[in-house]
């Protein structure tokens, strides 16, 4: 193993929670978030031999895989259902009461609002609050650091409006 | 943007930070996923990958993360989701320590025949830094934190045993995993198998989780028989139907999480003189086979893969030495934010020590005591090795 590459177990422990939270903010269902998170780490595990720490940070590398896996999930399951939920503002049914019990109820509504943002705004919020720098967010979203900042602040305002509308 | 708007957005950012930092997968997901990942790889490749790093851990810090190894464990009483209840002696079918034990205790007085032993991953170690605030950078989850405490001993010294057995297993090969799968009617390869009405995953030792080689058996729920009168009856029948009834001594307990009932078969090891000691994980919690039930029907069984155990007898430290070792894990000086805990109980237990192609079940002393901090009652455990240095 290369000296500049940490053991995969370290990445797994350090990033499992963050990747799960990122995915969870995208898909609104704990079961889907688990499936996608599992896929992310399965893929990362297989690809870790090709990971070059000189070219990217482990965080950016893992979040790229997570972002692709989430997009694949949407492609596989169709956006129609997701859009329908978005329009109707229906919470996705939960099949895992144990999981529900363990989640912080007070933040679920906020993440549900994040999940209803337009795709790029949702991504900017989720990546940024998963601990990535604006530079890393920009790289992942194929834009400059400044563009990532602007996108993030637009997303933040949109999120505030979304929350206000629901309160009203 | 006016000042109010700015403050509002800052507040929203803080809430988002909290939301992302507190949104985590359910308890058990990390272990399950890691097991699945391991199960997809050949057993021998896992062994070779970890071997070089682990061999250097003999009598040094074990090759698992520091936070996982030795942190002082404090578990909040009454906060956890799992509510344990109804412990009763189930009684393993065998009175010996295991039908897989290859050498009986009486025939194995060759003290120290395994040579120098690695430290169990569960063992607490003294802090390396002097008295940081107990909550500083301490990774925490619901009901527990890994902070520092000052320790005092206020209990009865443990009954002195001069010797105790140490058990050793050889890391199973891919062929061993296949053979185990075949023994319960499953076929497949590389840790993934399927049988009539179930799928089976087998993983080797997982150093990061301090887990021995294990299986997970997931049934096709459409083919299950009606549930038994109690969860334990259902779990007993489920294990029996798949030839997974433990051959080692155990007690049975149940736990509840939402609509899932977990039946636990807590593994024990025989001690000289007729007593038994629980196998504990790195938090000091007894473990063994777990059978999860929902609506009375099995969801999954998770347990240690049956393995042949060699046994050798080692001298163990005295009660006084054990107490000194336990107290030595505290920072040994007072600080305003570090609570003092009176350890009042001690039990002999067994813990897993991983060392490459051979791993060990070694005796440890588990000290415990309760304290209250900010109105919350905590249970603290300190684990020290029972085999002398």
Q: If you count residue pairs, one on A and one on B, with CB atoms under 8 Å apart, how many are there?
A: 101
- Say if residue A68 is exposed, middle or buried (CB neighbours under 10 Å; 0-12, 13-18, 19+): middle
Q: How far is CA B199 from the centre of its chain?
A: 24
Q: What is the structure's pLDDT at A104?
A: 45
Q: Residue A136 has which token pair?
A: 């890393």
- Option in A45, A99, A156 nearest B37 (CB): A45
Tens digits of residue pLDDT in B78-113 = 222 222 222 222 334 333 333 344 333 332 323 457
Higher pLDDT, B257 or A167: B257
Please name the residue of chain A whose CA is at the shortest distance from the CA of residue B80. Answer: A102
Q: What is the structure's pLDDT at A25?
A: 86
Q: What residues of chain B score a pLDDT lower than 70?
A: 1-2, 39-112, 124-147, 158-159, 208, 258, 331-337
B8 in contact with A at a CB cutoff of 8 Å?
Answer: yes
**Alpha-carbon span B71 to B148, nearest angstrom:** 8
Please name the residue of chain A whose CA is at the shortest distance from the CA of residue B22. Answer: A104
pTM: 0.52
B260 in contact with A at a CB cutoff of 8 Å?
Answer: yes
Q: What is the structure's pLDDT at A84?
A: 45
Give mean pLDDT, residues A61-65.
91
Q: What is the structure's pLDDT at B276?
A: 92
Alpha helix segments (H runs only) across B149-260: 174-183, 231-241
> Residue A168 — very low, low, confident or very high, per pLDDT cuts 50/70/90?
low
Range of lowest pLDDT (A2-11, A152-161, B71-80) = B71-80
A104 in contact with B at a CB cutoff of 8 Å?
Answer: yes
Tens digits of residue pLDDT in B186-225 = 988 778 888 888 888 888 888 767 789 999 898 887 778 8
DSSP for residue B305: P
Q: What is the structure's pLDDT at B13?
A: 87
Closest among B114, B103, B117 to B310, alpha carbons compared: B103
- Does pLDDT of A138 surpass 60? yes
- Option in A41, A100, A157 nearest B37 (CB): A41
- Does pLDDT of A65 surpass 50? yes
Please name the residue of chain A whose CA is at the shortest distance from the CA of residue B209. Answer: A9
Q: What is the structure's pLDDT at B248?
A: 94
Q: What is the structure's pLDDT at B205?
A: 86
Cβ atoms of residues B207 and B50 within 8 Å: yes
Q: Residue B366 has which token pair?
A: 């588990």
Q: What is the structure's pLDDT at B76?
A: 28
Q: Decide if A157 and B9 are in contact by the 8 Å CB cutoff.
A: yes
DSSP for residue B96: S
A111 in contact with B at a CB cutoff of 8 Å?
Answer: yes
**Residue B303: helix, strand or coil by DSSP?**
strand
Closest among A10, A6, A7, A33 to A111, alpha carbons compared: A33
Give the gap in angstroms from C-alpha A129 to the nearest C-alpha of chain B. 6
Tens digits of residue pLDDT in A92-117 = 434 443 334 334 455 677 888 888 88
């Amino acid at each position: 193993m290369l000296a500049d590459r940490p053991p995969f177990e370290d990445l797994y422990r350090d990033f499992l929670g963050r990747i799960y939270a990122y995915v969870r903010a995208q898909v609104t269902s704990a079961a889907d978030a688990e499936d996608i998170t599992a896929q992310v780490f399965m893929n990362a595990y297989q690809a870790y031999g090709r990971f070059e720490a000189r070219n990217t940070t482990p965080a950016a590398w893992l979040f790229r895989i997570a972002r692709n896996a989430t997009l694949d999930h949407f492609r596989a399951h169709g956006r129609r259902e997701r859009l329908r939920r978005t329009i109707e503002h229906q919470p996705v049914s939960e099949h895992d009461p144990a999981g529900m019990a363990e989640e912080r109820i007070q933040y679920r509504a906020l993440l549900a609002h994040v999940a209803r943002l337009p795709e790029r705004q949702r991504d900017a919020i989720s990546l940024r609050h998963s601990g990535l720098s604006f530079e890393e967010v920009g790289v992942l979203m194929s834009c400059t650091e400044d563009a990532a900042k602007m996108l993030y602040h637009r997303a933040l305002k949109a999120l505030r409006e979304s929350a206000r509308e629901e309160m009203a | 943007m006016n000042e109010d708007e700015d403050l509002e957005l800052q507040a929203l950012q803080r809430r988002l930070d909290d939301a992302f930092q507190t949104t985590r997968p359910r308890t058990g997901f990390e272990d399950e996923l890691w097991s699945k990942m391991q199960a997809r790889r050949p057993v021998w490749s896992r062994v070779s990958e970890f071997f070089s790093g682990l061999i250097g851990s003999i009598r040094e810090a074990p090759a698992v993360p520091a936070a996982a190894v030795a942190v002082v464990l404090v578990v909040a009483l009454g906060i956890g989701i799992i509510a344990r209840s109804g412990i009763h002696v189930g009684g393993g079918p065998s009175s010996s320590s295991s039908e897989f034990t290859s050498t009986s205790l009486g025939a194995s007085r060759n003290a120290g025949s395994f040579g120098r032993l690695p430290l169990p991953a569960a063992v607490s170690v003294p802090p390396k830094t002097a008295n940081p605030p107990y909550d500083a950078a301490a990774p925490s989850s619901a009901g527990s934190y890994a902070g520092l405490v000052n320790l005092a001993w206020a209990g009865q010294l443990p009954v002195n045993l001069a010797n105790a057995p140490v058990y050793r297993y050889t890391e199973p090969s891919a062929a061993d995993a296949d053979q185990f799968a075949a023994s319960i009617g499953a076929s497949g390869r590389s840790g993934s198998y399927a049988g009539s009405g179930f799928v089976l995953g087998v993983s080797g030792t997982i150093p990061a989780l301090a887990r021995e080689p294990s299986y997970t058996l997931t049934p096709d729920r459409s083919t299950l028989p009606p549930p038994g009168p109690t969860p334990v009856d259902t779990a007993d029948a489920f294990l029996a139907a798949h030839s997974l009834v433990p051959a080692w001594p155990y007690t049975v307990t149940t736990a509840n999480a939402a609509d899932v009932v977990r039946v636990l078969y807590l593994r024990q090891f025989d001690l000289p003189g007729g007593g038994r000691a629980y196998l504990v994980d790195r938090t000091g919690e007894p473990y063994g086979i777990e059978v999860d039930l929902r609506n009375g029907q099995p969801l999954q069984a998770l347990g240690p893969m049956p393995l042949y155990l060699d046994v050798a007898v080692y001298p163990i430290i005295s009660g006084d030495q054990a107490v000194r070792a336990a107290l030595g894990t505290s920072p040994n000086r007072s600080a305003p934010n570090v609570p003092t805990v009176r350890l009042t109980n001690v039990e002999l237990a067994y813990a897993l020590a991983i060392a490459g192609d051979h791993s060990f079940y070694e005796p440890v002393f588990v000290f415990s005591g309760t304290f209250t901090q900010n109105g919350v009652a905590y249970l603290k455990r300190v684990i020290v090795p029972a085999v002398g240095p």
